[in-house]
Structure 1
């Protein structure tokens, strides 16, 4: 039995928790409310971005650096996200504004 929260509740809970700590998060795209996969667009507020993709490994949530180890410009980040949305229309996209590039969600970045 799968005991994970529906994606919409999981995302909204993280947005509220981040807001309470002064971190801005916004939903750029809503996907399937129950089981949509999440993509994070990390905005370092200096013109650089990273895109993290939610992956499950051995039932553990981890994040993959979809745009590589080095930061990219916004156009590159948005182009990657657009390609993924074409492939999977159930995706959620959340932008996180954090100068340190933290993602604020459960799971390590691999």
Structure 2
């Protein structure tokens, strides 16, 4: 059983704040199992979007972990990220959106490997 989305998001916000980055919930999703999307704005008109990794990368013996994968290898114009988020919400109205602002583009996420 995975950690509830609302608990994971609260911990992620604290992790960002401890590192000196601003982070906030832009959209609350389903508290128990809503997918979480993380936008990292680099404050230069560009951003990265981190989306939930496919279920195949998860290890059932470590249920509290969540893995993410970047939508693109390089930062994109923020409008492109916003357009993608609109599509994601249309597809999954239970999804969460968390936005982080960090000039260095730090995401504070465990990324999917492979």
Is this a same-fold pair by TM over 0.5?
A: yes
Counterparts of 2:82 and 2:38 in 1: how far apart (Å)?
11
Counterparts of 1:23 and 1:70 in 2: how far apart (Å)?
20
Query: Where in structure 1 are there 5+ consecutive unaligned residues?
Result: none
Q: 1:47 to 1:109 in 2, by over 3 A?
A: farther
Q: Deviations over 1:30-61 (max 9, x none)?
A: 11000011111110111111111012334254
TM-score (norm 2): 0.83
TM-score (norm 1): 0.86
Counterparts of 1:82 and 1:33 in 2: how far apart (Å)?
20
Contact 1:32 1:90 in 2 (8 A): yes
Is 2:33 the counterpart of 1:28?
A: no
Contact 2:67 2:112 in 1 (8 A): yes
Who is 1:59 aligned against? 58
Q: 1:107 to 1:90 in 2, by over 3 A?
A: same
**Aligned-pair Cα RMSD in Å:** 1.7
Who is 2:78 aligned against? 74
Query: Where in structure 2 are there 5+ consecutive unaligned residues?
Result: 60-65
How far off is 1:12 after superposition?
0.6
Q: Deviations over 1:50-78 (max 9, x none)?
A: 11101233425432222x22211111110
Contact 2:69 2:111 in 1 (8 A): no
